[in-house]
């Protein structure tokens, strides 16, 4: 059965500044992401990787073109509507885990579910399942400072998918980890994508991890191209 396109960027333009000082980052950029696939975004610093992720995640507005998530155009949506889509359709993982230090691993994963209106008992059950899936169920009561770097990032991944989004966007999710831990964290992430049918776009400088993904893309002259 063919996988479904869940994210489309059509003829995206993004620039900063004005007039002679204008810097074009993305120019007529097109990209598609399908359910169940992992795509590595590999490009030198300053070429627009983070900008592309921010546009795909509705954190920035394009200067031209269209962002389509789940078949729905996001052009012209209000800030509240964009926020609602981010909460329900998109999960984010960053290089720094950004876990809430005063809460346990379990509570960090429960948080986005509670914000979305899920009952506490259901949020707790879902969080516990995700911790087990990420092989750190025994660490649920521990706060971030009591976890290793790899464990913290696995909690961050579990939190990102707690609301069952269509799309997972990750910006250097293993950038602060040693090679062995990075590989282990990616194993867990990849298994989660396959099991859930998520679509994942992962910006990384780690070419070994990039080679394990379904596709690799880069940004060349402001456009997204496969390589």
Q: What is the mean pLDDT of residues 39-50?
A: 92
CA distance 118 to 107: 13
Q: What is the mean pLDDT of residues 52-78?
A: 95
CA distance 227 to 162: 32
Residue range 79-128, pLDDT digits in tens: 999 999 998 999 999 877 889 999 999 999 999 999 999 999 999 999 99
Q: List the one residue out of 179, 219, 223, 194 whose CA is nearest residue 41.
A: 219
Is the distance from CB of 171 to CB of 203 less than 8 angstroms?
Answer: yes
DSSP state of 4: P
pLDDT at 174: 85
pLDDT at 180: 87
The confidence band for 1, taking pLDDT boundaries of 50, 70 and 90, is very low
Report helix, strand or coil for 2.
Answer: coil
Q: What is the CA radius of gyration of the chain?
A: 18
pLDDT at 5: 95
Half-sphere exposure of 162 (CA within 13 A, CB side): 31
| pLDDT above 60 (res 65) | yes
The pTM assigned to this predicted structure is 0.91
Q: How far is CA 33 from the centre of its chain?
A: 12
Neighbours of 227 (CB within 10 A): 10
Q: List the one residue out of 209, 103, 223, 111 whose CA is nearest residue 160.
A: 111
Mean pLDDT of the chain, nearest integer: 92
């Amino acid at each position: 059965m063919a996988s479904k396109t869940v994210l489309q960027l059509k003829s995206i333009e993004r620039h900063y500044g004005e007039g002679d000082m204008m810097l074009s980052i993305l120019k007529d950029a097109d990209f598609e992401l399908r359910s169940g696939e992992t795509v590595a975004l590999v490009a030198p610093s300053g070429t627009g990787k983070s900008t592309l992720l921010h546009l795909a995640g509705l954190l920035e507005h394009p200067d031209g073109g269209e962002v389509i998530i789940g078949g729905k155009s996001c052009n012209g949506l209000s800030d509240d509507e964009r926020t609602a889509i981010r909460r329900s359709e998109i999960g984010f993982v960053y290089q720094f885990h950004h876990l809430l230090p005063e809460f346990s691993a379990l509570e960090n994963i429960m948080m986005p579910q509670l914000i979305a209106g899920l009952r506490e008992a259901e949020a707790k059950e879902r969080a516990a399942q995700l911790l087990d899936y990420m092989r750190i169920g025994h660490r649920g009561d521990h706060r971030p400072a009591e976890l290793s770097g790899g464990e913290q990032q696995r909690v961050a991944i579990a939190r990102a998918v707690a609301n069952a989004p269509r799309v997972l966007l990750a910006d250097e999710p293993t950038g602060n980890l040693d090679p062995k831990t990075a590989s282990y964290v990616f194993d867990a992430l990849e298994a989660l994508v396959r099991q859930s049918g998520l679509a994942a776009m992962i910006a990384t400088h780690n070419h070994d991890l990039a080679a394990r993904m379904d596709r690799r893309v880069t940004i060349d002259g402001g456009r997204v191209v496969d390589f």
